[in-house]
Amino acid sequence: MAQGFLLVLSGPSGAGKGTVSEALMKSQDDIVFSTSLTTRQPRPNEVDGENYFFVSKEKFFEMVDNDELLEYAQVHNNYYATPKKFVYDKIEDGEIVLLEIDVQGALQIKERYKNVVFIFLLPPSMSELRTRLVNRGTESEEDIDTRFNNAYKELDFVGEYDYFVVNNTVDQAVKDIQNIIAAERLRVKRHKNIKENVSKGWD
């Protein structure tokens, strides 16, 4: 069985990360979404272990001290993180773990873990990105300006990623990511017994 890997998807707000991630997971059954850990309280209908792993701040910092997190960050008054055990266990089972995360978190992971494929999701243009932000209707004009300006700053980090995918359409973006996954699945380093498999025949 081929070894799995962590697939990190980043991109500016409005690039369509959530929509593309959801469509990608529906298209392949060997992809699991990385469930993040948080210190915030569950919202109505949120399920522990599905939406998030909900923990106290005391437990969170205990996990930090024990090096149990791939990355973590503070957002407002709460903390969010990617737990190592969930990711490592799924990868050991041969699955691809999809992690949708910002640039700062991705760079943390890059420093700490090597079995990762980094993809940066780009909008077709910056004018289209602004149009998408406006059409969402969820942010004020000030918030839109902030997200738009942050997007320009995030583009400086594209060179830290392995691949980029332009989200002209969700279907095409998903196909591009599927092609990346197919190529990464065939990397020699992900297969331990190539000679034996060739001798006996592939399953």
Q: If pLDDT is split at 50, 70 and 90, which confidence band does 186 have?
A: confident
Task: Please give the structure tokens belonging to residue 19.
Answer: 């929509």
Query: Residues 20-31: pLDDT tens digits?
Result: 999 999 998 889
Helix (H, G, I), strand (E, B) or coil at 98: strand
What is the percentage of the chain residues whose pLDDT exceeds 90?
49
Kindly list the domain boundaries of the chain, sorted by start residue.
5-194
Return contacts of 160-164, CB within 8 angstroms, 24+ apart. Answer: 160/103, 160/106, 160/107, 160/110, 160/118, 161/10, 161/106, 161/118, 161/119, 161/120, 162/117, 162/118, 162/119, 163/117, 163/118, 163/119, 163/120, 164/119, 164/120, 164/121, 164/122
Query: Residues 2-43: pLDDT tens digits?
Result: 779 999 999 988 888 989 999 999 998 889 998 889 999 988
Number of H helices, E strands in the chain: 8, 9
pTM of this structure:
0.82
Query: Residues 47-102: pLDDT tens digits?
Result: 998 888 999 999 999 999 999 999 998 876 889 899 999 899 999 888 999 998 88
Task: Please give the structure tokens belonging to residue 14.
Answer: 């409005």
99 - beta bridge partners?
8
The pLDDT assigned to 202 comes to 58
CA of residue 45 relative to chain centroid, distance: 23
Query: Residues 126-147: pLDDT tens digits?
Result: 888 888 888 877 778 888 888 8
> What whole-number distance in Å separates Cα of residue 134 and Cα of residue 139?
8
Pick the CATH number of 5-194 from 2.60.40.420, 3.40.50.300, 2.40.50.110, 1.10.287.3510: 3.40.50.300
